Structure 1
Amino acid sequence: MNKLQDKLHKGEFVITAEVESPKGPDFGDELEKIKKLRGYVDAVNICDNPMANLRMSPIALSHIIHEQLGIDTIFHLTCRDRNLLGLQSELLGAWALGITNILTLTGDDPKRGDNPSSTGVYDCDSIGLAKIACSLNNGFDISGNELNAKTGFLIGGVLNPLNPDIDLEIDKMKRKIDAGVAFFQTQPVYDVDAYRRFIDKVGNLGVKIIMGIMPLKSYKMAVHFNEKVPGVKIPENILSQLKADPTCGVKIAVEIATKARDFADGIHVMPLGRLSAVIEIARELGRGGR
């Protein structure tokens, strides 16, 4: 049973969190950290070589977490590292291992990462990957050949609700939905009012949108986001709070999460390795661990 899918279908407010995968085959330390999230989150996201930096396979780690900790997972899959044949093979293997939630991504340029001599494949983009997963759900590979059984992935996509070109973002969102995406996790949101306006403009498209939250570590980090990260705008009142108290990032994240509960389908916390921040935010929203 897919607990995350069931909760989203019932309209329950969900909490997901991004966790780190190890750079190497030893997963013990990371597993102990993730274990502390039981009862606080509905699923954890496992990145696929994030920022083009080498990490353990997200499918393998997702299986380990699900089997050993009983926590639902959302594994990321990028088009960067695999051709069309490899993407389909990975998906079939993930389904056989009981991993049912996927986030479809195009992937960062390998030249940005720690193995810059690697070659990006990009046989398709994230929309094409969603179509592949949807085709497997219907019992066929991307070439139309019938499989011996259907998969049943809950297919996710990413969304930037504060893209300056809102119409372009909504158009891309609709194309992802047409490709089979059933839920979205957004980029970090700091302006809740602007996010609410985006949601109102989108209307009811029959999908769930989980709002991204990234607790800021410092005033310097906030300024960097405003200057260098497209689509992320941190309001002046938050900048002022961080300038006065550089440690208040989690407190601000709690305030954002509390406001979002009134209209969002859930929150996705990107804690930058600080899983204690996930727990603090979840507790403020009434979650308890186990």
Structure 2
Amino acid sequence: MYNVHGLREKLALGKFVTTVELEPPKGADPLPTMEAAKFLRGKVDAVNIADSPMATLRMSPIALAHIVQEDLGLEAIFHLTCRDRNLLGLQSELLGAAALGVRNILTLTGDSPSRGDHPEVKGVFETDSIGLARLAERLNQGYDLTGHELNGPTRFLIGGVANPGAEDLDAEVAKLAAKVEVGVRFVQTQPVFDIETALRFWERTRHLPVHILFGLLPLKSARQARYFNEKVPGVRVGEDVIQKVEEGGRAAGIALCRELYGGLREFAAGAHLFPIGDLRAVYEILDIDTDLRRAAM
């Protein structure tokens, strides 16, 4: 059976946790994601399984999270969006996930289908991420949305997202407080590229009973950094960081993440890594054995 000393317990004990985001395959074969995940077993505390990210078709995150946990013994956090399911469907998915032992959830509103590979489909969006977290907490209490009692409650560790670099930080803190009020107990943030941004957000939210895992994304180029500044709201890469990556390329991006990772250990609950298709970067940031780095190439 799966190790009961999982993410919930580690966070409660104050252990600095590390999570890594993985993308499900486009197809019925889970092997590509499993190959990536197997080298992380025993090296990170959990992996995130995205829910058709950017509204592009991918394997069910619940099914894949279950396979990762059962076959690899690696704890998983499944993403669930409000984009593709109405309130009845969301409850059904959550009950199925609980039955499969997949109990860490990241609640998301979701990207518009117009951004993805099926732009003609209609998004549902019957609720948002706060409503979804409230729904999951309701199931934890043993009741469905209409107040009918379940034959057994769920036991989800409910997560949410936040943006430490938001232009309106007061509004972002208020939104996080609303999420905590309805049941969110851990947060994985948008990428941060300097310790000051993370520390400022932590100081503003430390009164809330929530564990914050700050996002780290190893930049590969100055062009990529400028893309974030131009296209991703609330994510800011400073000119000093851009200059370092322009001069040092991928190696500089890795070095910056390693420095941030060490700094976060002083105050944060953990770090969440976005490898963006470069899993070797995870090994390098965490200083995992070089044999594993070669195996991932």
* 1:87 to partner: Cα distance: 0.1
Residue 29 (structure 1) aligned with residue 29 (structure 2): no
Query: Which residue does 1:152 correspond to in 2?
Result: 155
- Aligned partner of 2:268 in structure 1 is 264
Is 1:189 aligned to residue 192 of structure 2?
yes
Regions of 4+ moved over 4 Å: none
Residues 1:141 and 2:105 aligned together: no
Q: How far 1:53 sits from its partner (Å)?
A: 0.2
> Given the alignment, which residue of 204, 220, 223 partners 2:226?
223
Deviations, residues 22-47 of structure 1 (Å, cap 9, x unaligned) = 00001113211210111111000000
TM-score, normalised with respect to structure 2: 0.94
Moved more, 68-77 or 245-254: 245-254
Identity %: 53
CA distances 1:154-204 after superposition (whole Å, capped 9, x unpaired): 000000011110110011001101110000000000121122122112232
Larger relative CO (CA 8 A, sep 6+): 1 or 2? Answer: 1
Alignment check: 8 A CA contact 1:21 1:46 kept: yes
| Equivalent of 1:251 in 251, 255, 261 | 255
Q: Map of 1:58-207 to 2, 5 A cutoff?
A: 58-207=61-210
1:77-101 CA distance string (max 9 Å, x none): 0000000000000000000000010
CA distance in 2, matches of 1:179, 1:217: 38
- Paired residue for 2:281? 277
Residue 14 of structure 1 corresponds to 17
Q: How big is the shift at 1:270?
A: 0.4
Residue 213 of structure 2 aligns to a residue in which SS?
strand
What is residue 51 of structure 2 aligned with on the other side?
Answer: 48
Aligned residue type for 1:41: V
Matched position secondary structure for 2:146: coil
In 2, the alpha carbon distance for the partners of 1:172 and 1:2 equals 30
| Long gaps (5+) in structure 2 | none
Aligned residues: 286
SS at match of 1:175: helix
Tell me if the contact between 1:48 and 1:78 (Cα under 8 Å) persists in the aligned partners.
Answer: yes
Structure 2 CA distance for partners of 1:2 and 1:97, relative to 1, 3 Å: farther
For 1:141-165, what per-residue CA distance to the aligned partner results, in whole angstroms no more than 9, with x for missing partners?
Answer: 0111100001000000000011110
| Separation of aligned partners in 2, 1:41 and 1:7 | 12
**2-structure distance, mates of 1:30, 1:162:** 30
CA deviations 1:214-269 (Å, max 9, x no partner) are: 11111100011112211111122211111112122112111111111111110000
